[in-house]
Amino acid sequence: MQDRMDLHTHTIASGHAYNTLYEMVRAAADKGVELLGVTDHAPLIPGACHPFYFKNFKVIPRVIYGVHVMMGCELDIIDYDGHIDLEPEYLKGLDFAIASIHEQCYAIGTTAQNTAAYLGAMKNPAVHIIGHPDDGRVPVDFETLVCAAKEEHVLLEFNASSLHPRSHRLHARENDIAMLEYCRRYQAPIIIDSDAHCACDVAEHSRAHELLQEIDFPEDLVVNSSFEKAAAYLPYLATLLNDGGLRS
User: For 188-198, what is each residue's pLDDT tens digit?
Assistant: 999 999 999 99
Q: What is the mean pLDDT of residues 128-143?
A: 98
Average pLDDT over residues 134-145: 98
pLDDT tens across 31-44, in order? 999 999 999 999 99
pTM score, two decimals? 0.98
- By CB atoms closer than 10 A (0-12, 13-18, 19+), residue 47 is exposed
Is 90 exceeded by the pLDDT of residue 209?
yes
Strands (E) located in the chain: 5-9, 35-41, 63-64, 67-76, 96-100, 129-130, 155-159, 190-193
pLDDT on residue 1: 85
Share of the chain above pLDDT 70, in %: 100
Q: Per-residue pLDDT averaged across 175-190, rounded?
A: 98
How far is it, in rounded angstroms, from Cα 114 to Cα 100? 11
pLDDT at 246: 83
d(CA 239, CA 236): 5
| β-sheet bridge partners, residue 159 | 193
Query: Cα separation of 206 and 218, whole Å?
Result: 16
Confidence at 241, pLDDT banded by 50, 70, 90: very high
